[in-house]
Structure 1
Amino acid sequence: MSREKSAAAGRDKTALDKGTPAEGSMTGMPTVSVAESTVAQREAKEHTNGLGSSPDGRLVPDSRPVVELKATLDAHRGERHIVAIQNFPDPDAIASALAHQMIASNFNITVDIVYDGFISHQENLALVQLLQIELLHYDPTIDLSQYQASIFIDNQGTTTTLTSKLREAGVKPLVIVDHHERQGLIEAVFTDIRKVGATATIYAEYLRDAFPLEKSNPQHVRLATALMHAIRTETNGMIRARESDFQSAGYLSQFIDPTLLNEILNVKRSKRAIDIINLALEKRIVRDNYSIAGVGYVRYEDRDAIPQAADFLLTEENIHTAVVYGIITKEGEREVIIGSLRTSKVTLNPDQFLKSALGRDTAGHYYGGGKHEAGGFEIPIGFLSGTYDEDFMRSKWKIYDAMVKRKLLEKIGVIENQPTTSALRPPSVLPERPEE
């Protein structure tokens, strides 16, 4: 080897040992060195047999998920990924997706955050606008094959219609990070599903352990503010927070912008949301401390008013569980029944309750699911979809309203004296046809 080549090799080795940043890395977050990512990849590949150092010097298994995440992203350095969030993104999904995007930038990975639905909740709109978060609304003209991998954050493919589209385009799941119960619909190379208050809690932990934020970086301040809002929202203002949520919130508190957070929290409800909440109050039935309300047809743009109505019904005295649902309509789109469950009953598991009450579709997928103290469900209308005359639409709603109520009441153990749709029961004897 020539002296020049030998010297160059020595410089490269010295740079690697010192953790010199890789060329082409993005500056949105502190850069992970080639040396660090190489070590992380080796540790993650030996995830079950790998050893780390304990405080007393003993070798113990290193099971930190962030080590495996770093290795996974490093193995896909320089690619283009799509983060698929639920059709109606909430603060947890939006903030966590933003965190993933910034973490991935350390590995020169370009990330697009995409949703196939609508953002209608006032706080969510304020979050996106005030913090300048770039989200892409799915359009059929988007070529999904441009992505080398898909990332599912705050969902496991069950609450986004992008799942099937990505599968058809041949884009395989790489990462799943979520805090809901396991759904089993898709599998990814890296999966981190935990029983914590928010997915944002998990991403704040990643940042704290491996990608530290900087107060002087405006991008980091916006991210910390978004994650803090997400944790607060998912834990009902920290009332339902667990130790891990408090730890993550404590870390984020060093970097947030209180003024921006206050603006997001104090945004007012829309008139349409107030109308739907009022309708839920009017239509609710109360049985054994359960409040159940069907609100009829709801515009696609107002879908986020349904969980707001469930939250409001839960504030009524002697109510521990509230369920609100309606038929979501949009021109040219399939009709579905969307519902939300909120509960303060510690012994009620929303995921088990909704799965047991509503069952599965023909493919074996559950119509509903959830997490601690909250759940949701989506039931396709199917054959009766479509807008017709007023009488037909009214009859269709009565049928589906009765079906959902019946399943929920049966699950609760309440036997109704009269069917909810007694007016729709067919006569016991059909009239005879006149003779020709």
Structure 2
Amino acid sequence: MDITKQPVNGLVGEASAYLNQRNTPINQKLEELRNTLLAHRHERHLIVLQDFPDPDALSCAWAYLLISQQYDIKCEIIYAGTLSHQENIALVKLTGLPAQRWTLQTVKNKDLSSYQGFILLDNQGTTSQLVDVIQQARIPLVAVIDHHSLQVELKAEFTDIRPSVRATATIFTQYIQSGLLTLDSSISQHVKCVTALMHGLRSDTNRLMQAQEEDFIAAAYLSRYYDVQLLNAILQANRSKRVMDVIERSLKNRIVQNNFSIAGVGYLRYDDRDAIPQAADFLVTEENVHTAVVYGIVHDEDEDELEVVIGSLRTTKLTLDPDEFIKEAFGQDSSGRFFGGGRTSAGGFEIPMGFLSGGNENSSYAKMKWEVYDAQIKQKLLRLVNPKDNPIQAE
């Protein structure tokens, strides 16, 4: 075949057909999902995202909502945290993506009896405050679709977890290609959703630098429908001053050992949580650094007792598995849930502070609390970075 004589759409079609022929298990998953959706016709479901949803999660939730509408299933997209990354805020505002923030208080005051199921997308329930409350309301888990490594044993009617795929948006693009949703470029909602999927795929593959064959094929398919100008507008959102301040703090506080850059940034407002991964993205670009870890204590000013240590890891080292590294560093809680995990080139962790939560962040108590957590986290990280050294004494 002379590819120089093939039309672009023809190439995409041939690539998709080739992919489908190679991946019979994927086709089986598609049939399972169709059957699951058929079994839940006329129901009302919740799509639960991680507390701080990223473009991959947001776009896939919208795609699932549109797919579910074909089966007369009404879905609501919810998350418990906040949108603080400038690109996530721009994505939701500019596309009208129908995601709602439900705080713990909101969900506790809601009558959940009208919902017949919930869905986990781009997460497995370990990064959402809402899951426990929803499960306590005896709402069954209908589906889990994710590209991260398995975090917990899940009992769902439908499960599609593929760590080999770089973005959950790739999985949903395959669903759409299979006919679960017929895209129409004259329908504004379809164009905006596809643009969101392209952003999610691009974001989770580091601008396609870490994309695999399936991701490229998915991107080629989405290229038929997405709005280039809209995507550019989302990507050009400016960093806030508070994000820049956190990046500055990470630079001042970082220690560099064995090509690892580790920085604690102290206390952050809940709304500024996404400054942590942005600081990690920045630190990993330093010369002679292949891995950056940034962490801080995130507190909610509206709920004085809500504090959690949140951290992000970014790496360019091909032999470093973020999921394994974070799980080995921080382990599991008493119920067997890991405090964090990851995917290719990136990971994150959340450690509840328990009875130590609360208190004025400017107080001497808060300063002592930060010093204890800062030392403990450094110790856990540096025992992997420098296993022969005393991490507390490391400079």
Q: TM-score, normalised by structure 1?
A: 0.81
After superposition, give the CA deviation of every residue in 1:117-156 in whole Å (9 maximum; x if it has no partner).
Answer: 1001100000001101111111233222221000000000
1:63 Cα deviation (Å)?
4.1
Matching of residue 278 in structure 1 with residue 251 in structure 2: no
Answer yes or no: is the 8 Å Cα contact 1:158–1:185 preserved in 2: no
Q: Which has the higher helix share?
A: 2
> Does the C-alpha gap of structure 1 residues 352 and 334 become closer, same or farther in structure 2, counting only changes over 3 Å?
same
Between the aligned partners of 1:300 and 1:416, the Cα distance in structure 2 is 35
> Does the C-alpha gap of structure 1 residues 62 and 244 become closer, same or farther in structure 2, counting only changes over 3 Å?
closer
Q: CA RMSD in A?
A: 1.8
Matching of residue 95 in structure 1 with residue 59 in structure 2: yes
- Could you tell me the percent identity over the aligned residues? 50
Question: 1:259 is matched with which residue?
Answer: 229
Matching of residue 125 in structure 1 with residue 89 in structure 2: yes
Question: 2:4 is matched with which residue?
Answer: none
Between the aligned partners of 2:359 and 2:379, the Cα distance in structure 1 is 25
> Does the C-alpha gap of structure 1 residues 371 and 206 become closer, same or farther in structure 2, counting only changes over 3 Å?
same
Between the aligned partners of 2:50 and 2:138, the Cα distance in structure 1 is 20
Question: 1:313 is matched with which residue?
Answer: 283
> Does the C-alpha gap of structure 1 residues 400 and 213 become closer, same or farther in structure 2, counting only changes over 3 Å?
same
1:361 Cα deviation (Å)?
1.1
Larger radius of gyration: 1
1:419 Cα deviation (Å)?
2.9
Between the aligned partners of 1:62 and 1:104, the Cα distance in structure 2 is 19
1:362 Cα deviation (Å)?
1.4
Answer yes or no: is the 8 Å Cα contact 2:86–2:239 preserved in 1: yes
Answer yes or no: is the 8 Å Cα contact 1:402–1:420 preserved in 2: no
1:170 Cα deviation (Å)?
0.6
1:413 Cα deviation (Å)?
2.6
Question: 1:41 is matched with which residue?
Answer: none
Between the aligned partners of 1:61 and 1:264, the Cα distance in structure 2 is 35
Question: 2:364 is matched with which residue?
Answer: 391
1:186 Cα deviation (Å)?
2.7
**In structure 1, the residue corresponding to 2:306 is in which secondary structure?**
coil
After superposition, give the CA deviation of every residue in 1:197-252 in whole Å (9 maximum; x if it has no partner).
Answer: 11011001100111231112211111110000100111111001110000111000
Question: 2:382 is matched with which residue?
Answer: 409
**In structure 2, the residue corresponding to 1:369 is in which secondary structure?**
strand
Question: 2:214 is matched with which residue?
Answer: 244
Answer yes or no: is the 8 Å Cα contact 1:65–1:192 preserved in 2: yes
Answer yes or no: is the 8 Å Cα contact 1:157–1:185 preserved in 2: no
> Does the C-alpha gap of structure 1 residues 196 and 62 become closer, same or farther in structure 2, counting only changes over 3 Å?
closer
Answer yes or no: is the 8 Å Cα contact 2:340–2:350 preserved in 1: yes
**In structure 1, the residue corresponding to 2:142 is in which secondary structure?**
strand
**In structure 2, the residue corresponding to 1:339 is in which secondary structure?**
strand
Q: Which has the higher contact order (CA 8 A, sep 6+)?
A: 2
1:192-271 maps to which residues of 2 (within 5 A)? Answer: 192-194=160-162, 195-210=164-179, 211-271=181-241
1:101 is matched by which residue type in structure 2? L
Answer yes or no: is the 8 Å Cα contact 1:181–1:351 preserved in 2: yes
Answer yes or no: is the 8 Å Cα contact 1:157–1:186 preserved in 2: no
Between the aligned partners of 2:261 and 2:74, the Cα distance in structure 1 is 46
**Among candidates 114, 127, 146, match of residue 114 of structure 2:** 146
After superposition, give the CA deviation of every residue in 1:359-394 in whole Å (9 maximum; x if it has no partner).
Answer: 111112111111111110011111211114621111
**In structure 2, the residue corresponding to 1:120 is in which secondary structure?**
coil
Structure 1: state its 5+ residue gaps. Answer: 1-53, 423-436
**In structure 1, the residue corresponding to 2:82 is in which secondary structure?**
coil
1:199 is matched by which residue type in structure 2? T
Give the aligned length: 365
Question: 1:155 is matched with which residue?
Answer: 123
**In structure 2, the residue corresponding to 1:419 is in which secondary structure?**
helix
Between the aligned partners of 1:121 and 1:185, the Cα distance in structure 2 is 30
Question: 1:21 is matched with which residue?
Answer: none
Greater mean deviation of Cα atoms: 387-396 or 291-300: 387-396
Q: TM-score, normalised by structure 2?
A: 0.89
After superposition, give the CA deviation of every residue in 1:243-277 in whole Å (9 maximum; x if it has no partner).
Answer: 00001110000001111011001111000000001
**In structure 2, the residue corresponding to 1:118 is in which secondary structure?**
coil
Question: 1:167 is matched with which residue?
Answer: 135
